[in-house]
Amino acid sequence: MDIRVKTEPIKWLFTDIDGVWTDCCIYYSSRGEELKKFSYRDGMGAERLRNLTDIKIAIITGENSEIVSRRAEKLKIEHVFLGIKNKLEVVENFIKDRNLRFENLAYIGDDLNDLEVMRKVGITACPADAFDDIYQMADFQCMKKGGEGAFREFCEFLIKEKNI
């Protein structure tokens, strides 16, 4: 199926964080605090997607990170699922509660814990440095790496397709 046809029914973009919005590294200080590096470009992608389309964003991550909550709050992303080990179960409940179908969801992920969801949703994307199995199955392979604008790149693709 043509990738452009897959974008038509999209209403939600689900995104992993580590390896998509970040460089897939966790930083610790001598006091043990966890740090994550986020790109302003990805934040701008979220803002542009919100302002230029009817697509809403949801974050789903296996990590239980206060930093992710704060980043989502700053970007006005209301649906944030932290510490999720079974992403597919959460997504299934999400679409059931909102009377959606899998084809209404886009998903960007980078590793095997994203695979089950990516096999079901309408359109998938991954950063350039995603795990090989994810890279091979994604509908849209970003030219940018995780933490270096991959999320923004996919947002810009969706914006363009929704506004044609």
Classified as helix, coil or strand, 93 is: helix
pLDDT digits (tens, 9 = 90+) for 47-67: 999 999 999 999 999 999 899
What contacts 142, CB < 8 A, 6 or more positions away?
125, 126, 127, 128, 149, 150, 153, 154
The residue whose two tokens read 């992303």 is: 77
Give yes or no for a contact between 11 and 55, defined as CB atoms under 8 angstroms apart. Answer: yes
pLDDT band at 164 (very low <50, low <70, confident <90, very high): low
- Other C-beta atoms within 10 Å of 115: how many? 16
pLDDT digits (tens, 9 = 90+) for 62-109: 999 899 999 999 999 999 999 999 999 999 999 999 999 999 999 999
At 57 the pLDDT is: 98
Classified as helix, coil or strand, 106 is: strand
Give yes or no for a contact between 70 and 24, defined as CB atoms under 8 angstroms apart. Answer: no
Instruction: Check pLDDT > 90 for residue 4.
Output: no
Instruction: Check pLDDT > 70 for residue 1.
Output: no
Structural domains in the chain, CATH included, are: 3-162 (3.40.50.1000)
pLDDT band at 163 (very low <50, low <70, confident <90, very high): confident
Distance (Å) of CA 39 to CA 10, 22, 32, 69, 92: 25, 7, 23, 16, 29
Give yes or no for a contact between 104 and 9, defined as CB atoms under 8 angstroms apart. Answer: yes
Least-confidence region, from 5-14, 33-42, 50-59, 78-87: 33-42
At 136 the pLDDT is: 97
